[in-house]
Amino acid sequence: MRMRDFLYFFSVLIVVAAGISCGKGNNKTSGNTKAVSPGHTDSFEPVDGDWMITTTGAINTLNFLEAYSTDQLDVVYLIGDPLVTYDANLNVVPRLAESWEISKDHLKLTFHIRKGVHFHDGVLLTVDDVIYTYEKSQDPSVLWGSYRQVFQNVKKLKKIDDVTLVVTFKKPAANPLSAFEDFFILPKHVYDTKKYSFDKNPANLKPVGTGPYILEKWEKDVQIVLKANPDYFGGRPHLDKIVFKIIDRNAMIFDMLMNGELDLSPITTVEWQYRTQEPEFKRNFQKRKYYVLAFYLMSWNEKNRFFQKKAVRQAMAYLADRESFNKTNFFGLYKIAASPVHPQSPFFNPNVRAYPFDPAKAALLLDGAGIVDRDGDGVREDESGHPFRFTYLVDSNDKNGATWGEFFQAILSENGIDMRIKLVDSGKFQELTNAGHYDACFRGWLTGADPDFMISIFRTRKGKESFNDTGYSNPNLDALLDKTDQELNPEVRKQLFMKAQEIVHVDQPDLFLYYPAALVAVHNRFRACQTSPSGMFRCYPGILKTYVPKPLQIHKRGK
């Protein structure tokens, strides 16, 4: 399973797609753009130079194994390198591993690491660094436990020589590469020391990677400045610097964009709908929209007496007026979700469609389940007289979760269901949801092109590393997901996942809401800016190929 498939994320995800660099002082991007005659087409060929200015949120660590927020990952993808990664079309492509072989029985995976790759401090990367990173990923002291789930089928890693690594699996791995996608390699010589604990190592604030960019400086709560790695094995990236300005994402960002303080920035749905129509914006910027590898959902905890019933969960889906909410809050820019699988994934089942808004159908299901208003107080009760009342848990920092809660609460109230909203801080939210101490909650998941993440989310929970905290269990789905984990024929495996989506669609352990749209504004002087469901930073080579034609460059080297 892909390393990042299970990351919990907040509403900020929808605006994190693609920013990069920052200039010094108050250089006005639009005011400094030079005019070039149409005849000078040779001036617009790819060339090195210039910076790009973007934004990010607060970051506490850049340790590759403990980076889990989208803000952290954007920077890590530039400083570090994994063995393999995704291109813009969600194909697996080589990065540190120049090639690999998978044994016929899918029990062994052999990586051939590129020769002559150096960390930013000049030390040669070897298989020892890969093995060390893997071993640390299994260390319970590492705070982010996603890796322990991802590598649960790995039996051992064996060094053949400095550039050859053999991975042995406990059982045949249907997609053996997926465990190593975007698994960024740490420098063993920096971290393997008794002087510092892993989480207190100074390298967490001054990371040493092999990636296309080198950390130049990190001014806490101000900016992170990256400079191009001239010795990068994939070739020097065109942009001299990428600077992430650490900004509280609010209304000032669009003004900073228009004032020339930013080159690339996430924008809100309101700004997309209205402010991008301004003539000055159209002259200087272009806007991009794409659906990220993620989805929003409401999870139903089946410890709750009502949500144990499939008919009730289906009724909740019929009461979710997602179309109206999308139009009212997002101008229809989001995509309504019917499945956890991304619609651009080859595994997406187009026959699985979102439940329509149908209160009458919901009422029939609730009546059939014996949940009716028995005492005339406007709230339905079950056969034991318990009122259909539950608590909706939402992170206090998640504006989308709170807004959806208020919207859905009103609909449920009109249909005899009492939903009470409880806001908690981020830490408490994760603590409660991880332990399964909630009735219902709002959250989102980052996913991958391959839907193997469904195994951890929907298979009956086994052990504390499972991400199934709803209590959902369907033996038929378990058996099918187990097959997907072992099926070596790609087409058969695809059909198994198609069927799995149909089962989940009927059972409704979660209410799938939206695939969020990443909305981005980028200055017109930048060329070859790729968009991808993985994000503009997290596809390869992606941003490495972005450039500014020489006549349009405004930031000069050495300044």
The whole-number pLDDT of residue 364 equals 98
The whole-number pLDDT of residue 41 equals 45
Rounded Cα gap, residues 221 and 138, in angstroms: 31
Q: For 371-391, what is the mean pLDDT?
A: 96
Query: Which range scores top for mean pLDDT: 62-71, 177-186, 206-215?
Result: 206-215
Q: What percent of the chain has pLDDT over 90?
A: 70
Rounded Cα gap, residues 524 and 548, in angstroms: 9
pLDDT tens sequence across 514-559: 999 999 999 999 999 988 888 788 889 999 999 999 999 998 754 4
pLDDT range class, residue 144, cuts 50, 70, 90: low
Residues 6+ apart with CB under 8 A from 114: 96, 97, 98, 163, 233
* Distance between first and last Cα of the chain: 44
The whole-number pLDDT of residue 8 equals 38
Q: For 210-227, what is the mean pLDDT?
A: 96
Q: What is the mean pLDDT of the chain?
A: 88
The whole-number pLDDT of residue 536 equals 82
pLDDT tens sequence across 397-435: 998 999 999 999 999 999 999 999 999 998 899 899 988
pLDDT tens sequence across 440-472: 999 988 787 788 888 888 989 876 557 889 999
Is there a contact between 135 and 198 (Cβ–Cβ < 8 Å)? no
Q: Is the pLDDT at 366 greater than 90, yes or no? A: yes
Q: What percent of the chain has pLDDT over 70?
A: 90
pLDDT range class, residue 367, cuts 50, 70, 90: very high
Between 247 and 28, the higher pLDDT residue: 247
Rounded Cα gap, residues 508 and 313, in angstroms: 6
Q: Is the pLDDT at 59 greater than 50, yes or no? A: yes
Is there a contact between 312 and 365 (Cβ–Cβ < 8 Å)? yes
Rounded Cα gap, residues 91 and 85, in angstroms: 8
**For residue 381, how far is the Cα from the chain centroid?**
39
The whole-number pLDDT of residue 455 equals 82
The whole-number pLDDT of residue 40 equals 43
Q: Is the pLDDT at 3 greater than 60, yes or no? A: no
Rounded Cα gap, residues 145 and 8, in angstroms: 12
Judge residue 293's burial from the number of C-beta atoms within 10 Å of its C-beta, 0-12 exposed, 13-18 middle, 19 or more buried: buried
Does residue 202 have a cis bond before it (omega within 30 degrees)? no
Q: Is the pLDDT at 166 greater than 50, yes or no? A: yes
pLDDT range class, residue 332, cuts 50, 70, 90: very high
Rounded Cα gap, residues 96 and 105, in angstroms: 25
pLDDT tens sequence across 221-245: 899 999 999 999 999 999 999 999 9
Q: Is the pLDDT at 152 greater than 90, yes or no? A: no
Q: Starting at the earlier edge strand, list the strands of the sheet with 213-219.
A: 51-56, 241-246, 223-228, 213-219
Q: For 34-57, what is the mean pLDDT?
A: 72
Structural domains in the chain plus CATH codes? 8-208+517-552 (3.90.76.10), 294-515 (3.10.105.10)
Is there a contact between 64 and 209 (Cβ–Cβ < 8 Å)? yes
pLDDT range class, residue 308, cuts 50, 70, 90: very high
* 249 backbone dihedrals φ, ψ, rounded to 5°: -70, 105
pLDDT range class, residue 250, cuts 50, 70, 90: low
**For residue 418, how far is the Cα from the chain centroid?**
33
The whole-number pLDDT of residue 434 equals 87
SS (H, E, C) 394-417: EECCCHHHHHHHHHHHHHHHHCCC
Is there a contact between 398 and 442 (Cβ–Cβ < 8 Å)? yes
pLDDT range class, residue 145, cuts 50, 70, 90: low
pLDDT range class, residue 178, cuts 50, 70, 90: confident
